[in-house]
Amino acid sequence: MKYIKQLLIILCISFMGEVLKYLIPLPVPASIYGLLLLLTALLTGVLKLEKIKDVSVFLIEIMPLMFIPAAVGLMDSWSALGGILVQVIITVVVSTIVVMGVSGVVTQMIIRREEQKTNERTVL
């Protein structure tokens, strides 16, 4: 029952993202609105992490399974991709490298910030 309740909380926030997409005429996907709502709720303390943690861990664990339909769709539209295959491969490689680089830099910044906070606490 706990998992159902946690999933319903996430689904309600996703639904609010869909409503925002309908109300705000910007070219932003509803999932982004939902993620921003979830982030805001978690940061402000309106929603405690413990209320959604278990089902969130489960969803992250099965995330690779969610890419199977997209991969099958790519295989199904192989004939349309044939003419632009080189561009697609370059785009995928470059974007992967950029995402890895940015993720690494941001992670290092966060780690350094946390170390500075820890050092300041120990000095006091």
- Averaged pLDDT, 60-73: 88
pTM given for the model: 0.64
Alpha-carbon distance 19 to 8, whole Å?
A: 16
Q: Which of 3, 43, 36 is nearest to 13 (CA)?
A: 36
Calculated CA dihedral for residues 71, 73, 74, 79, nearest 10 degrees: 150
Q: What is the mean pLDDT of the chain?
A: 91
Domain boundaries, the chain: 1-66, 80-124
pLDDT at 124 over 80: no
Q: H-type helices in the chain, by residue range?
A: 2-23, 30-44, 53-61, 63-66, 68-76, 78-81, 85-123
CB 62 within 8 A of CB 34: no
Residue 123 has pLDDT above 80, yes or no: no
